[in-house]
C-alpha cells in the first residue's frame, strides 16, 4: 500500500541544516495499523507529512499502490490526497458554526459528490464513529472526544485507502482519548489502513506495529503482541 524508499527531508533555515528524515526505507501493507512514536523533534510529523503527500521530501520515493507520488504533478498529488487519503490532526479543525453532519458533508461536496450522496456517506461515517445520535449537534455541544470523532468521520467519509493521524489525542483527557483510540481500532478491524503518530506508549502498543523514531532515523520497528 505505502512504500517509502530512501526518504530524506532536510530543512534549511538560515545557517542551520536539519536532517528531519534520514534515508528511511520501509513499507506499510494494506490493513495495517502502524503507530509512529519517538521524542519531540524526532521527525514523526515530518514523516507523516511526507507519507500523506502534504509536503515534498528532499529526496527519495513515496509509493502509494505502486506509484511513486513524488515526481507526479501537483494536480495528481492533490487528487490522490482528496480521493485516497484522510487526515486527522490534534486540533480537530472542525468548523464551529456547522453541525457534526455539515462538517462531515462539506469535504465530500468539495470532492464532487452531489448533496444526497454526500449526506448519505457523511451519515454512514458518523454512525461508524459512534455519533449517529449527535449528527445535528454543533461542536460546542459535543465533548472534545466527540469533536475529534467528528474529525475522524470527516476523514473517512470518502472511504480513503489510508488515514493519517498526528497526535489525535493530544488535546484530550484520558477517558476521551481512550474512546478516540478505540474508534481507530474499530476502523482498522474493518480493514482501514492507519498510520498514527502518538506520544503515548500504551496507545502505540495497541496497533499491529510501532516504529520508534530518533533524530530522523528508525530506532526500532516492532510488531506488537496482541
Q: Could you tell me if 138 and 99 are in contact, meaning their C-beta atoms sit under 8 angstroms apart?
A: yes
Looking at beta carbons only, is 101 or 211 nearer to ligand ATP? Answer: 211
Round to whole Å and give the CA distance between 211 and 223: 9
Contact with ligand ATP (CB under 6 A): which of 13, 97, 140, 174?
Answer: 13
Judging by DSSP bridges, how do beta strands 193-197 and 59-64 pair with one another? unpaired
Looking at beta carbons only, is 26 or 161 nearer to ligand ATP? Answer: 26
Q: Which of residues 19-38 bind ligand ATP (CB under 6 A)?
A: 20, 38
Told to check if 6 binds ligand ATP by CB under 6 A, we report no
Which of Mg ion, ligand ATP, none has residue 13 at its interface (CB below 5 to 8 Å by kind)?
A: ligand ATP
Angle at 17 between CA 14 and CA 19, to 5 degrees: 150
Which of Mg ion, ligand ATP, none has residue 140 at its interface (CB below 5 to 8 Å by kind)?
A: none
Type and span of the H or E element at 163: strand 162-166
Round to whole Å and give the CA distance between 12 and 147: 36
What are residue 222's DSSP bridge partners?
A: 210
CA-based end-to-end distance of the chain: 23
To ligand ATP, the closest distance from the beta carbon of 127 in angstroms equals 32
Told to check if 45 binds Mg ion by CB under 5 A, we report yes
Cell of 127: 454512525
Radius of gyration of the chain (CA): 17
Compose the 34-63 pattern: x for residues touching ligand ATP by CB under 6 A, - for all others.
----x-xxxxxxx-----------------
To Mg ion, the closest distance from the beta carbon of 166 in angstroms equals 6
Number of amino acids touching ligand ATP (CB under 6 A): 12
Which residues sit at the interface with ligand ATP, rule CB under 6 A?
Answer: 11, 13, 18, 20, 38, 40-46
Amino acid at each position: 500500500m505505502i512504500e517509502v524508499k530512501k526518504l530524506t527531508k532536510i530543512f534549511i533555515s538560515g545557517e542551520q541544516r536539519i536532517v528531519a528524515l534520514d534515508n528511511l526505507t520501509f513499507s506499510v501493507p494494506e490493513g495495517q495499523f502502524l503507530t509512529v512514536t519517538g521524542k519531540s523533534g524526532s521527525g514523526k510529523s515530518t514523516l507523516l507529512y511526507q507519507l500523506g503527500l502534504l509536503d515534498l521530501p528532499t529526496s527519495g520515493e513515496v509509493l502509494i499502490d505502486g506509484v511513486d507520488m513524488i515526481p507526479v504533478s501537483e494536480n495528481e498529488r492533490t487528487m490522490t490526497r482528496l480521493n485516497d487519503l484522510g487526515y486527522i490532526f490534534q486540533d480537530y479543525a472542525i468548523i464551529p458554526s456547522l453541525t457534526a453532519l455539515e462538517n462531515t458533508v462539506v469535504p465530500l461536496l468539495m470532492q464532487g459528490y452531489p448533496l444526497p450522496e454526500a449526506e448519505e456517506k457523511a451519515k454512514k461515517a458518523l454512525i461508524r464513529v459512534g455519533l449517529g445520535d449527535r449528527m445535528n449537534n454543533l461542536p460546542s455541544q459535543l465533548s472534545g472526544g466527540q469533536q475529534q470523532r467528528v474529525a475522524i468521520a470527516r476523514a473517512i467519509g470518502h472511504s480513503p485507502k489510508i488515514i493519517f493521524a498526528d497526535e489525535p489525542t493530544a488535546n484530550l483527557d484520558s477517558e476521551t482519548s481512550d474512546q478516540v483510540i478505540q474508534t481507530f481500532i474499530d476502523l482498522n478491524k474493518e480493514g482501514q489502513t492507519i498510520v498514527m503518530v502518538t506520544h503515548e506508549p500504551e496507545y502505540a502498543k495497541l496497533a499491529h506495529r510501532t516504529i520508534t523514531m530518533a533524530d530522523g532515523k528508525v530506532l526500532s520497528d516492532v510488531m506488537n503482541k496482541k
